[in-house]
Amino acid sequence: MRCPPIPIGPETNETHMTESWWNLLSSFAGGLFGSGTIWAFLSYRQRAREIEVSSAVSMSALQKDLADKLLELIARSEEYADVRDGKIKVRIPPNKLNQLKAHIDILQSDVLSCEARLAKLENRDPRNINIKYIRPAPPRDGSIEVV
Q: Is 83 domain-assigned?
A: yes
Phi/psi at 124 (nearest 5 deg)? -145, 170
Tell me what the mean pLDDT of segment 2-18 comes to.
Answer: 57
Query: Tell me: the pLDDT tens digits for 41-96?
Result: 778 889 999 999 999 999 999 999 999 999 999 899 888 888 888 787 777 777 88
Q: How long a stretch of residues is the chain?
A: 147
Residue 21 belongs to a domain? no
Q: Is residue 39 part of a domain?
A: no
Phi, psi of 110, rounded to the nearest 5 degrees: -65, -40
pLDDT at 67: 93
Cα→Cα distances 140→98, 102, 109, 135, Å: 22, 25, 31, 15
126 in any annotated domain: yes
Determine, yes or no, domain membership for 68. yes
Residue 48 lies in a domain: no
**Per-residue model confidence as pLDDT tens digits over 99-118:** 888 999 999 999 999 999 99
The per-residue pLDDT for 12 is 52
In a domain, 107, yes or no: yes
What residues make up the domain containing 94?
62-135
Domain total in the chain: 1
What's residue 64's pLDDT? Answer: 95
Instruction: Compute CA distances 137 → 65, 70, 73, 103, 133, whole Å.
Output: 30, 21, 18, 19, 12
More confident residue, 115 or 20: 115
Kindly report, residue by residue over 23-46, the tens digit of the pLDDT: 777 777 776 666 666 677 778 889
